[in-house]
Structure 1
Amino acid sequence: MTFDAATKMQFLYALRSKGVTDARVLTAMEKVDRALFVRGIFADRAYEDMPLPITCGQTISQPSVVGLMTQALQVSDRDKVLEVGTGSGYQAAILSKLARRVYTVDRYRSLVTAARAIFERQDMTNITTFTADGSYGFSEQAPFDRILLTAAAEDPPGPLLAQLRVGGIMVLPVGQSDTVQSLIRVTRHENGYDYDELRAVRFVPLLEGLGQE
């Protein structure tokens, strides 16, 4: 299967039916071929609205969840975005179509290397990838206008809250198990943070330290 006009139409229809209605987000997702980020026996399922396994025991999120998280982030073309959890690179690629600059971090070096290779082949020059413990953010480039986590934390990590610009937005799944998680949006104000609960989700846990692969 290829990401031709008919496939794109079906793909976008499925996104809209799940609540992804932001025109800029839909356009970005139309421009990024998910099949680039899915390998092996699951390649022919790249355009289905379902999560799929990738290496290092991780997953590529289902497109509707990617769209809803991106929509909740409210990214503008002036924003500097931090993504924690590069994974396949699919989410960062979509963010790159919306933001001025994207920094993406993962604890698995092999995932970062593979994603970087795709970004380079696709000439996505506004993405910077690096291997690190993402729960500490990336203080060298802070503050960020937007922060997105693609792994579930028990609570929003303190270092990431501190690296969010006043007026900035962070979207992340929170929960103590992989069965009860909520997607939340955190907005930073001069005198604190607002928290909005968006929907139930299921993500891999946010782990400290570097991975072995």
Structure 2
Amino acid sequence: MRRTLEDTYRHKGLRKKLVEVVKGKGITDETVLETMNAIPRHFFLDSAFDDVAYEDRAFPIGEGQTISQPYTVAYQTQLLELTPGMKVLEIGTGSAYQAVVLAKMGVKLFTIERQKMLFEENKGFAYLKQFPFIKFFYGDGYQGLPTYAPFDRVLITAAAPEIPQKLIEQLKPGGMMVIPVGTGNVQQMMRLTKQADGKMQEELFDNFSFVPMLAGKN
């Protein structure tokens, strides 16, 4: 991938407009909006996408994966109700854009990618060196990271056919998981909160479209 790592006045202006678009769609968390305004999204895409990097849509990043639509990133992040210092597990690093949004909000992030090529590309991505609180792992998202559990939050950035039980087990009591659930082209966003007795309280939100969550490594 050929990256542009220069953040010009033009990029900043386009980013501000993008944040206004996302806000206009109903994102109310000012911390989420300010964080997205501070992150150069074009850094995470091939320089061929430079002119369109601040449109509110997903783009391909290779290996059949995408960088999520900014509105989707903001929506999932808002549902997480983060506070600084939380321990968060992300399933599906992809371009690492969502990972940086979370890290800039002050959490300790553990993120898993199953595509070796994307994992290796992030290892060589100079911008990510600024974020020592992101720990990158190559592995199967369905297995989570039991060694580092429990987590305050779990975020899944791929369409899960069902709720992965191993990830529920790695959630602290009182912790939340945000996950798009369903097969086919459309999934429903869910937020699960783990009760003190281990039962899960479910909340249903809007429909989205994600690439499928696959088992194993590639």
- Give the TM interval when normalised to the shorter protein: over 0.9
| 1:107 shift after superposition | 0.5
Structure 1 pair 173–121 and aligned structure 2 pair: CA distance change class (3 A): closer
| 1:208 shift after superposition | 0.6
Query: Which of residues 192, 200, 209 in structure 2 aligns to 1:186?
Result: 192
| Helix, strand or coil at the partner of 1:187 | strand
Query: Which of residues 58, 68, 93 in structure 1 aligns to 2:65?
Result: 58
Structure 1 pair 4–52 and aligned structure 2 pair: CA distance change class (3 A): closer
Amino acid at match of 1:184: M
| Helix, strand or coil at the partner of 1:15 | helix
Structure 1 pair 121–98 and aligned structure 2 pair: CA distance change class (3 A): closer
In structure 1, what is the equivalent of residue 214 of structure 2? 207
Answer yes or no: is the 8 Å Cα contact 1:150–1:203 preserved in 2.
Answer: yes
- Distance in 1, Cα, partners of 2:23 & 2:97: 19
Answer yes or no: is the 8 Å Cα contact 1:154–1:175 preserved in 2.
Answer: yes
- Distance in 2, Cα, partners of 1:59 & 1:35: 14
TM-score (normalizing by structure 1)? 0.93
Q: How does 1:1-213 map to 2 (within 5 A)?
A: 2=8, 4-118=11-125, 121-177=128-184, 179-191=185-197, 192-211=199-218
Amino acid at match of 1:63: P
- Distance in 1, Cα, partners of 2:50 & 2:60: 11
- Distance in 1, Cα, partners of 2:173 & 2:88: 14
List runs of 5+ in structure 2 lacking aligned partners.
Answer: 1-6
| 1:42 shift after superposition | 2.4
List runs of 5+ in structure 1 lacking aligned partners.
Answer: none
Answer yes or no: is the 8 Å Cα contact 2:41–2:53 preserved in 1.
Answer: yes
Amino acid at match of 1:189: Q
| 1:197 shift after superposition | 0.8
Answer yes or no: is the 8 Å Cα contact 1:137–1:163 preserved in 2.
Answer: yes
Answer yes or no: is the 8 Å Cα contact 2:178–2:192 preserved in 1.
Answer: yes
Cα RMSD over matched residues? Answer: 1.5
Structure 1 pair 52–5 and aligned structure 2 pair: CA distance change class (3 A): closer
Cα distance per residue 1:87-110 (max 9 Å; x no partner): 000000000011331000010122
Paired residues in the alignment total: 210
Amino acid at match of 1:39: D
TM-score (normalizing by structure 2)? 0.91
